[in-house]
A and B are shown apart, each in its own frame.
Chain A
Amino acid sequence: MEKIAGEIEKDREHFKEIFKDCADIKMRDMYLGEKKDIGCFVAYIEVAVSDVLFEKSMIGKLLNTCSSKKKEDVYLCLDKNALGISDFTILDTYEEAADGLLTGDAILFVDGYPHAIKIPDQGYPNMGVNEADSEKVIRGSNEGFADSVKVNTALIRKRVRSPKVKVVEKKVGLRSKTNVDLVYMEDLIYPELLEEIQKRLDTFQIDGVLDSGVIEQLTEEKWYSPFPQFQTTERPDRAAMAILEGRIVLLCDNSPMALILPTDYNSFIKTSDDYYNRFEIASLGRILRYLASFFAMTLPGLYLAVTNFHTQILPTTLLLSFAAAREGVPFPSIVEVILMELSFELLREAGVRLPGAMGNTIGIVGGLIIGQAAVEANLVSPIVVIVVAFTALCSFAIPNEEFATAFRILKFFFIIFCAWIGFYGFLLCLLTVLIHLSHLKSFGIPYLMPIVGADLNDYKDERDCVGRLPLIYLNRRPIFARRTERIKLKRKE
């Protein structure tokens, strides 16, 4: 641990070196003493220290006091904590000073004074920020990203307090000049990945970027794929986890939605509390979500294929009950299924656009009352209502909305092909989706990792895939991290 030199130039250089490429860390030069002959600088995290630095905050008062004192009195004032600031700490090394800054406090360096001073201020933004609307968890923080990119960066730094967390700032949008921050762990990411995303951000020129969704669409490799090639999250803990895995988090000003890159199918299926809960329940949840992603896409099609083409599969009693349920329905089953699916999509759309409480009401009214009325009016059979409702349930079980949307869209292709050529259509669609997924990549990562291509990380990522092993066995970082930095957990000697 290196001692603080007490020479302002050296101190500043050293501190700047520690926080190189950290756009959210600010360093402000000032002069103290009645002759303004003592150089000093304050380092702080942008949103963790109040904007009205000199007027109201403790550090402001301290600096004001020192500004009117003689040189020797300034050092005395600092040494004795003349203002009686609570949690006023004198630090001796640069590392201690860096750690102090990362706790959300301001750090003061004064020329000729071989210590740094940690002065508490408002600290990191907390629960007042926002609550995540989607990606709800049973266990874990409920904090969500806000609209300000600065607050969002601080929310990540609050969770990963390491000077190796770097923030690269970019301006995107010719007229909007939107701030975009790329947050990553310096020693974990592949430098090529950072270059690639920066290159992609530079490849387009657009009037305005009003949400991260615009960046997502403009920078993804295969624009025609229904599957998202960036992972989106509203949760700072999820973003922090991604940073610890060696991924990059892209934050866009005015958007509470962070983009994580690279990503894969498995990352979309995971939730934050998979790691907060015990492995048995986490594994069960994962298996259910994998099954849900399959059925959200295939179930209505499969129903049509079996009931229209391959009735021999079903036992006679079940087949008879299906036939009885359809009695009196004037439409062919494909019309029934499409009618119900479209009604459901409409309900969903209406529910999203309406204010919270009304949205819930429309769900109940639509789901229960209209569904029941449609069955009673012989517009659809009860079995189709069950199939569509189960499919919807499956799509809700997928933790990521964009990812679930891909399955919702593909579901209609399955419906059409299965209604046309039965189980053959189902197999054709399934294989097409598999081929598509198998050659889809997100920034060089195979989308189906680690179910395929697991050899890329010596078959270790499979431990955290459909099932999750106990945390003690998840000692390696996933494929995203640099090959030399894969160990994330080991027992202390």
Chain B
Amino acid sequence: MFSENRQISKRQIRRLLIYDLFGIGTLLLPVFLTKFAGRDGIFCVLGAWLLLLCYLKFLEKMQRDVTQNYIIYLEQSVGKVVAKQFLMIYFVYCILFGAYALFTAASVIQRCLLREESFWLILFFLCLLAAYGVYAGMEGRARVYELLFWFLMFPLFLMLLFSMPQVNTEYWCPIFDTGSRDMAQGIYLAVIFCGVLFLLPFLFGFAKKKSQVVSAARQALAFFSCMNVTVILILMGIFNENALKKQHFPIITLMSMIDLPGGFLKRQDAFMVAIWFFTLYAFLNTGLFYSEYNLKAICFRSKKFLPLAICVILMYGIAGEFYRKSGAVFWYYKFLWYVGTPAVILIPVVAYLFAERRKENDRKK
């Protein structure tokens, strides 16, 4: 009557994307970038920002041709059979990144909150919650992040502000001492960490105005890039390059080191874990949502719960493998580096080229 489910506003899209990008980005990217590019990590983030803006420009162009939703667009441009193959690639990409988010979230919880609790129990509850979140639908998901945004961002800003006096700016220098190959790899890594943006075409079908999707994504990307640069600078300024490389979740360690004025709370890392719990949950939820969405489109169009159940079980299993075998995570990184990310970048480009050729042929006829 008043609001339609599956239709989300620009503000909701922006906040949804910020959450998706922010969690895993601030948790892991500073360490990985320091390993690749040392003190020049921030330039990798800025480089990735520029590249992704170009990609968003392309999506803006493509979005004009998407009449209903991205799946229909794919089917119209490359045909139903090829479209299914593409959706299969998306499905694998989403299920893997969802599983990775699940594994990371469970690791953070176990390491920071429940050292002696079973990893499998933590995974189990997260899976249940993610399934419930997906069951709530796109609008339900968007509303959760819309509500939580300032509740989580405001304390984070405050904490980052309080940490600034501890920053030693000498640790930031010297800069530009990374080779161009390492820089390029760092930029590519930062692009990979923004993988959620490659699923943006799916949002065209969920937005109230599809023209606002790319604009919201640009704002989210700007917010994420600025926040990430700030976080990297603070972490680098406090831990130094060498110590930063060896940390698992340096941002959470940082939270335990900040002294709040008044001294009521001695250590606030347990509370601040909530930020990464919610953001990683958002990331996991996105993975589950799109994998279920794609699976439905591939083979379970009429089923309601079966695709969701399959995706949850798969995610639980894969996340468990990540936990049991550290090599599995390494293979996942390889997959993202060589197959997953290039594929999800190229699929809309290929679809767009086919659509353009079809339009050209139609015009000639």
Contacts and interface: CB of A to CB of B under 8 A. Distances in A.
Contact of B109 (A424, A441, A453): A424
A76 interface: no
A7 B208 CA distance: 55
Nearest to A428: B125
A484 to B, nearest CB: 14
A346 interface: no
Given A315-B264, A438-B143, A192 B9 contact: no
B11 interface: yes
A448 B146 CA distance: 10
A445 B2 contact: yes
Most buried by B among A312, A441, A445, A452: A452
Given A432-B129, A435-B136, A455-B11, A421 B1 contact: no
Interface string B267-287: 110110110011001000000
B81 interface: no
A456 interface: yes
A309 B265 CA distance: 15
B144 A313 contact: no
B147 A193 contact: no
Contacts of B265: 313-315
B136 A441 contact: no
A295 to B, nearest CB: 15
Interface in A299-351: 309-310, 312-316
A193 B136 CA distance: 23
Contacts of B132: 432, 435
A409 interface: no
A151 to B, nearest CB: 31
A423 interface: yes
B218 to A, nearest CB: 19
B277 A309 contact: no
A451 interface: yes
B267 A312 contact: yes
A435 B266 contact: no
A438 B136 contact: yes
B146 A313 contact: no
A491 interface: no
A424 B132 CA distance: 17
Nearest to A447: B143
A94 B11 CA distance: 50
B139 interface: yes
Nearest to A451: B147
A13 B144 CA distance: 53
Interface in B239-297: 263-268, 270-271, 273-274, 277-278, 281
B144 A453 contact: no
B270 A423 contact: yes
A100 interface: no
B304 to A, nearest CB: 15
A438 B147 contact: yes
A432 B131 CA distance: 11
B117 interface: yes
B345 interface: no
A39 B283 CA distance: 76
Nearest to B2: A444
A482 to B, nearest CB: 11
A264 to B, nearest CB: 11
Given A427-B277, A435-B133, A438-B147, A309 B2 contact: no
Contacts of A479: 2
A490 interface: no
B116 to A, nearest CB: 10
Judged by DSSP, the binding face of A is helix
B320 interface: no
B146 A422 contact: no
Contact of B113 (A422, A444, A452): A422
A428 B129 contact: yes
Contacts of A432: 129, 132
B306 interface: no
Given A313-B267, A423-B270, A423-B273, A448 B147 contact: yes
Nearest to B271: A313
A455 B143 CA distance: 12
A139 B212 CA distance: 46
A479 B3 CA distance: 10
A315 B263 contact: yes
Interface string A433-448: 0111011010111101
A298 to B, nearest CB: 12
B113 A431 contact: no
A362 to B, nearest CB: 36
A421 B146 contact: no
Given A432-B129, A439-B140, A444 B3 contact: yes
B146 A452 contact: yes
Interface string B124-154: 0100010011001101111110111000000
Contacts of B268: 313
A190 interface: yes
Contacts of B271: 313, 423
A196 interface: yes
Contacts of A316: 266
A421 B266 CA distance: 21
A450 to B, nearest CB: 11
A321 to B, nearest CB: 13
Contacts of B148: 434
B314 interface: no
Interface in A364-406: none
Most buried by B among A193, A423, A444: A423
Interface of B: 1-3, 5, 9-12, 109, 113-114, 117, 121-122, 125, 129, 132-133, 136-137, 139-144, 146-148, 208, 263-268, 270-271, 273-274, 277-278, 281
Q: Which 10 residue pairs are nearest across A and B when measured between Cβ atoms?
A: A444-B1, A439-B140, A438-B143, A439-B136, A452-B143, A455-B9, A310-B270, A444-B2, A452-B146, A315-B266
Interface of A: 190, 192-193, 196, 262, 309-310, 312-316, 421-424, 427-428, 431-432, 434-436, 438-439, 441, 443-446, 448, 451-456, 479
13 contacts: A313-B265, A314-B266, A422-B114, A423-B113, A431-B129, A432-B129, A434-B144, A439-B136, A439-B137, A444-B1, A453-B146, A454-B11, A455-B208
Given A423-B113, A431-B277, 12 more contacts: A312-B266, A313-B265, A313-B266, A421-B122, A424-B113, A432-B132, A434-B147, A436-B136, A439-B139, A448-B143, A452-B12, A452-B147
